[in-house]
């Protein structure tokens, strides 16, 4: 018995020694959170909860927490803290905002509100006298108690892989390594939390990974990834304790698309969110090519507008833009607009960039063509100036680039998701030519139990771009039949559409769809009556506004243009410009106003931006439209 007691005492003493070496304690102070404490000791909230399960119910002042410590000490960290040494008085001028005042005095907006509490309930007004704190900076050495260590980057490892491995967010990794390269190279040495090797997370190649963006909650992730909060927490248990955080890396199933989502969200009315009324500085770059036109000759100008498609597009877009500026002005948003003629030439774009300072511009719209656009976006990237592509897909999606037209992949996915969400009974058939066989197979993999039909081939095995009525024998069933037609060949489209229209009846209803509505569906041999009869559905970046709809822009345009309605380029100029101005007035800059939870809609276009992990912003808002009684309307 004595031996058992002695062994127990020795074991208990050993445990105490080990405990003292591997852990330390922290007494909770007023206002501290688990995140604050974890940051202080460079551990994760999950680590603290694991040793202190009662802390999940809430922290109480003077509660003693067990904190894991590290075994290797590399170096102390230098920290800077600010102490208030007094106040200065600022009298608010007209058009000043909290943002502009915070920039003037280099302090946070929250600090201004903290010492001027009336701002929590009231808007800033001209003549308000504000107390602006004055600080002194105190530099001190802080010992991290061996909680960081050095780590050498392995091949193929980027920021998110390293952050995931050590259980921290990408911003936390960046905070630990202020001089870290934007793109990590094998052998780079980084500061990381000093956890043991068996605690490091393993990147599993049979999973995909997603980095949480600014303001993303579980609802936004459900829209983007198709995963519920419960599913995310099952794959990432730390979410139950820490919740979602900016830069957190989440493990998701391998078949989840982490870059594109086309599900709808509720539209955001930015009118009620306007707060930044500084004059917006916007540059427009378009290929007017006025150097080629004798502007003193009306006939020459008319001829140029009629024959030069790029000039015509530029002028229509510009016209719509001016109406947007007027609409924004009515909301209190003033704009300084400067227009540049790129002449559709690289040397002229270079001349514009070298002759002008764009560092104080809020956004640049254009140029029109991808090569010139890429030149501008690359040059303005160093000043982080948003550059917006109005019609085309940019060659490079830099951090400052906005791709406003949804990609073809996203349009495809939107159309397929539309069918997936349709719970009514249906039979699906996919008809395609040889060039679109891959698309046909992709649709079939997404929509189970669908049937594929391909165009016939000639004796040499080449695609003949037609099918026979016998190819459709027994294919359609009573009830609703959804037919995907995937082709860019007008003859094949005409051949199939005519047959489908002849087969369609009340017993066997046929609804025609495509994931890519191209010129093949607009040719002379394509009957709009047939398309309307088949309720032709397709994905689109824009919808067609109804002439019967009351709209201020459309009415004003018709009034100024002898009853002529604006074309799609003028409408896009209005929609895109007004959206940019409204977003700029709702936040400090365009980047802050481009969260994926914000979707705006105007006359024909809607915008919801998602940010590429290592790149810029792309519009993921898509319409599904259909032919209905010879008009094109949005499909619900």
Which pLDDT does position 18 carry in this prediction? 38
Higher per-residue pLDDT: 349 or 124: 349
Exposure string over 22-61, b if 16+ CB within 10 A, otherwise e: eeeebebeeebebeebbeebbbbbbbbbeebeebeeebee
Residue 59: name the closest of 217, 237, 239, 241 by CA: 241
Which pLDDT does position 296 carry in this prediction? 65
Residue 364: name the closest of 399, 340, 395 by CA: 340
Domain 409-540 has CATH 2.60.120: no
Q: Is the pLDDT of residue 13 over 90?
A: no
pLDDT digit string, tens, across residues 192-222: 887 766 678 888 878 888 888 766 778 778 8
Q: Which two tokens stand for residue 595?
A: 């969260």
Which pLDDT does position 94 carry in this prediction? 80
Q: Which phi-psi region, left, alpha or beta, contains residue 95 (left: φ > 0; alpha: ψ -120 to 50)?
A: left
Which pLDDT does position 86 carry in this prediction? 81
pLDDT, averaged across the chain: 84
Look at 38-52, 174-188, 502-516, 568-582 and tell me which has the smallest mean pLDDT: 38-52
Q: Would you say how long the chain is, in residues?
A: 636
Q: What's the average model confidence in pLDDT over 373-383? A: 94
Look at 80-94, 434-448, 469-483, 534-548 and tell me which has the smallest mean pLDDT: 80-94
Q: How confident is the model at residue 1 (pLDDT cuts 50, 70, 90)?
A: very low
Which pLDDT does position 578 carry in this prediction? 96
Which pLDDT does position 448 carry in this prediction? 81
Which pLDDT does position 266 carry in this prediction? 54
Question: Rounded distance, CA 570 to CA 316, Å?
Answer: 5
Look at 26-30, 167-171, 301-305, 611-615 and tell me which has the smallest mean pLDDT: 301-305
Look at 53-67, 109-123, 282-296, 435-449 and tell me which has the smallest mean pLDDT: 53-67
Which pLDDT does position 264 carry in this prediction? 45
Q: Which two tokens stand for residue 320?
A: 């719509």
Q: How confident is the model at residue 449 (pLDDT cuts 50, 70, 90)?
A: confident
Residue 212: name the closest of 183, 190, 244, 234 by CA: 244
Higher per-residue pLDDT: 516 or 246: 516
Rounded to 5 degrees, φ, ψ at 499 are -65, -45
Which pLDDT does position 548 carry in this prediction? 62
Q: Is the pLDDT of residue 327 over 70?
A: yes
From the CB of residue 491, how many other CB atoms can be counted at a distance below 10 Å? 16
The fold of 270-406+549-628 is: Rossmann fold (3.40.50)
Q: Is the pLDDT of residue 585 over 80?
A: yes
Which pLDDT does position 526 carry in this prediction? 92
Which pLDDT does position 3 carry in this prediction? 43
CATH for the 21-68 domain, from 3.40.50.720, 2.20.70.10, 3.10.350.10, 1.10.3720.10: 3.10.350.10
Question: Rounded distance, CA 49 to CA 183, Å?
Answer: 33
Which pLDDT does position 372 carry in this prediction? 96
Q: What's the average model confidence in pLDDT over 108-123? A: 83
Q: How confident is the model at residue 143 (pLDDT cuts 50, 70, 90)?
A: very low
Higher per-residue pLDDT: 542 or 147: 542
Q: What's the average model confidence in pLDDT over 20-47? A: 73
pLDDT digit string, tens, across residues 240-297: 877 888 778 899 998 887 654 444 455 678 888 899 999 999 999 999 988 877 666 6
Which pLDDT does position 365 carry in this prediction? 97
Instruction: Name the superfamily (CATH) of residues 77-142.
Output: LysM domain (3.10.350.10)
Q: Which two tokens stand for residue 336?
A: 């300084």
Judge if 21-68 and 409-540 fold alike in CATH terms. no
Which pLDDT does position 10 carry in this prediction? 36
Show me where the domains of the chain are located.
Answer: 21-68, 77-142, 270-406+549-628, 409-540
Which pLDDT does position 569 carry in this prediction? 95
- Highest mean pLDDT, choosing among 60-74, 295-309, 420-434, 488-502: 488-502
């Amino acid at each position: 018995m004595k031996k058992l007691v002695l062994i127990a005492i020795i074991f208990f003493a050993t445990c105490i020694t080990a405990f003292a070496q591997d852990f330390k304690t922290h007494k909770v102070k007023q206002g501290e959170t688990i995140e604050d404490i974890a940051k202080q000791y460079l551990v994760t909230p999950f680590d603290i909860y694991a040793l202190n399960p009662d802390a999940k119910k809430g922290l109480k002042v003077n509660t003693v927490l067990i904190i894991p410590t590290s075994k290797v000490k590399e170096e102390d960290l230098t920290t800077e803290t600010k102490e208030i040494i007094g106040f200065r008085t600022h009298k608010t001028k007209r058009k000043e905002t909290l943002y502009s005042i915070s920039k003037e005095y280099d302090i946070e907006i929250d600090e201004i509100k903290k010492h001027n509490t009336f701002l929590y309930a009231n808007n800033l007004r001209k003549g308000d006298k504000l107390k602006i704190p004055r600080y002194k900076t105190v530099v001190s050495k802080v010992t991290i108690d061996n909680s960081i260590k050095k780590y050498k980057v392995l091949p193929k490892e980027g920021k998110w892989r390293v952050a995931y491995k050590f259980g921290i967010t990408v911003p936390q990794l960046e905070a630990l390594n202020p001089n870290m390269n934007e793109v990590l190279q094998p052998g780079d040495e980084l500061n990381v939390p000093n956890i043991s090797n068996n605690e490091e997370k393993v990147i599993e190649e049979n999973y995909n990974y997603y980095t949480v963006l600014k303001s993303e909650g579980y609802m936004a992730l459900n829209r983007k990834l198709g995963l519920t909060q419960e599913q995310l927490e099952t794959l990432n248990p730390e979410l139950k304790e820490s919740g979602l955080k900016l830069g957190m890396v989440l493990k998701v199933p391998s078949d989840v698309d982490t870059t594109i989502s086309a599900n709808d969200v509720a539209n955001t009315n930015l009118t009620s969110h306007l707060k930044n009324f500084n004059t917006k500085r916007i540059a427009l770059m378009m290929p007017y090519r006025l150097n080629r036109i004798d502007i003193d000759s009306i006939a020459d100008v008319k001829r140029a507008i009629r024959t030069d498609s790029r000039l015509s597009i530029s002028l229509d877009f510009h016209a719509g833009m001016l109406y947007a500026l007027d609409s924004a002005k009515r909301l209190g948003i003033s704009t300084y607009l400067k227009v540049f003629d790129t002449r559709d030439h690289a040397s002229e774009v270079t001349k514009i960039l070298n002759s002008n300072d764009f560092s104080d511009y809020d956004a640049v719209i254009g140029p029109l063509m991808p090569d010139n656009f890429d030149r501008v976006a690359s040059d303005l990237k160093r000043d982080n100036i948003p550059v917006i592509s109005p019609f085309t897909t940019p060659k490079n999606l830099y951090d400052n680039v906005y791709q406003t037209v949804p990609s073809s992949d996203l349009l495809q996915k939107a159309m397929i998701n539309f069918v997936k969400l349709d719970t009514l009974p249906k039979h699906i058939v996919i008809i395609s030519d040889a060039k679109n066989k891959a698309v046909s197979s992709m649709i079939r993999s997404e929509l189970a139990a669908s049937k594929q039909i391909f165009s016939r081939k000639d004796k040499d095995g080449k695609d003949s771009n037609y099918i026979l009525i016998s190819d459709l024998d027994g294919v359609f069933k009573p009830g609703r039949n959804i037919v995907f037609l995937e082709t860019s060949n007008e003859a094949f489209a005409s051949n199939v559409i005519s047959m489908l229209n002849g087969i369609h009846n009340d017993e066997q209803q046929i609804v025609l769809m495509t994931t890519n509505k191209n010129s093949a569906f607009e040719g002379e041999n394509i009957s709009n009556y047939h398309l309307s009869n088949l309720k032709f559905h397709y994905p689109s970046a824009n919808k067609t506004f109804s002439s019967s709809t009351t709209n201020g822009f459309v009415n004003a345009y018709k009034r100024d243009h002898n009853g002529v309605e604006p074309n799609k380029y003028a409408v896009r100029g209005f929609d895109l410009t007004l959206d940019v101005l409204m977003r700029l007035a709702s936040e400090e800059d365009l980047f802050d106003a481009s969260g994926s939870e914000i979707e705006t809609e105007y006359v024909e276009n809607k915008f919801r931006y998602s940010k590429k992990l290592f790149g810029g912003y792309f519009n993921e808002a898509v319409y599904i439209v259909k032919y209905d009684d010879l008009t094109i309307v949005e499909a619900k």
